[in-house]
Every structure is written in structure tokens, then in C-alpha cells.
């Protein structure tokens, strides 16, 4: 177990450096790292999709850009997710860099691609919902 922790830490450093050859070499040498990294990335993507969905729900309800407090409220009420404002803002800023949301003077809004992701997430959530 201790050895895996050291390997993980070394991989994190290499990953942050962006050295593709070393990253590929470590993944070949320790294939279990790929599963861990994939799992972590999937968790981040789900969190981002939830925030996009909350923004989409509130944007539809308000008919325009959504203040951060309303996105946080939607996360809590509509998705039973509590997140601190700083975390939601940080995620929205990252999503803006990916051109999925945009910051307006009145709040946040979805881009066309962000809207598609929102719809996909909500449709999948509804499929999983049992009446």
C-alpha cells in the first residue's frame, strides 16, 4: 500500500509537468494508475455536469442569466447536493474556459454546447428516476 502511494505521488508530479513520454511510460509500467485517473476524472465530470444542469434549470426558470446563489439553491433543492459557493464559482470558471458557460453582468448562462450537456444530463437523470 505504501508503495502505491509513492507511485501515485510520483505520477501526480509527472502528470502536472505534462511530460507525455514519462506519463505514458508510467501508465504502461503501472496500468492500475489509468483506472484511478479515469475514475477521478469521471467524478469531476459528473460534478461539472450537475452544476451545468443546475444552471440550466435556473436559467429556464428565470428566463436569463442566473446568479450564483440561485445555482447553489438549485443544486440543493433539485439535486440534493450541497456545495460551497467558492467550489461552484471555481467550477463555473473552469467551465467558462471550456466555453460551456459564460459570465454575464447578471449571472451565469449556458452556451449552446453547455445547453446540450445540460439536456443530456437531465435526460439521463430522468431515465434513472423511478416514479
Tens of pLDDT along 63-80?
A: 999 999 999 999 999 999
- Looking at beta carbons, which pairs linking 123-130 to residues 24 or more positions away fall under 8 Å? 125/53
Query: What pLDDT score was predicted for residue 13?
Result: 86
Give CA separation, 40 vs 3, 43, 45, 63, 81, in Å. Answer: 20, 5, 9, 34, 18
- What cell was used for 118? 445540460
Residue 78: domain span: 44-128
Mean pLDDT in residue range 29-53? 84
pTM over 0.85: no
13 in a structural domain: no
Helices (H), 1-111: 2-17, 20-29, 32-62, 68-79, 85-97
23 in a structural domain: no
Q: How many domains does the chain have?
A: 1
The CA distance from 7 to 13, in Å, is 10
- Whether the CB-CB separation of 125 and 83 falls below 8 Å is answered with no
31 in a structural domain: no
Which pLDDT tens digit goes with each residue over 81-120? 999 999 999 999 999 998 999 999 999 999 999 999 999 9
37 in a structural domain: no
Locate cell 502511494: which residue?
Answer: 5
Residue 2 has pLDDT above 70, yes or no: no
Find the helix or strand (DSSP H, E) in which 118 lies. helix 112-128
74 in a structural domain: yes
Mean pLDDT in residue range 112-131? 80
33 in a structural domain: no
Q: Domain containing 72 — which CATH number? A: 1.10.10.10
38 in a structural domain: no
25 in a structural domain: no
Amino acid at each position: 500500500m505504501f508503495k502505491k502511494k509513492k507511485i501515485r505521488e510520483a505520477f501526480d508530479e509527472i502528470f502536472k509537468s505534462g511530460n507525455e513520454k514519462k506519463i505514458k511510460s508510467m501508465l504502461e509500467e503501472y496500468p492500475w494508475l489509468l483506472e484511478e485517473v479515469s475514475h477521478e476524472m469521471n467524478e469531476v465530470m459528473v460534478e461539472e455536469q450537475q452544476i451545468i444542469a443546475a444552471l440550466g434549470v435556473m436559467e429556464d426558470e428565470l428566463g436569463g442569466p442566473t446568479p450564483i446563489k440561485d445555482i447553489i439553491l438549485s443544486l440543493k433543492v433539485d439535486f440534493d447536493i450541497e456545495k460551497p459557493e467558492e467550489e461552484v464559482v471555481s467550477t463555473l470558471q473552469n467551465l467558462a474556459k471550456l466555453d460551456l458557460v459564460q459570465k454575464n453582468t447578471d449571472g451565469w448562462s449556458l452556451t449552446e454546447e453547455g445547453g446540450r450537456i445540460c439536456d443530456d444530463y437531465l435526460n439521463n437523470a430522468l431515465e434513472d428516476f423511478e416514479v
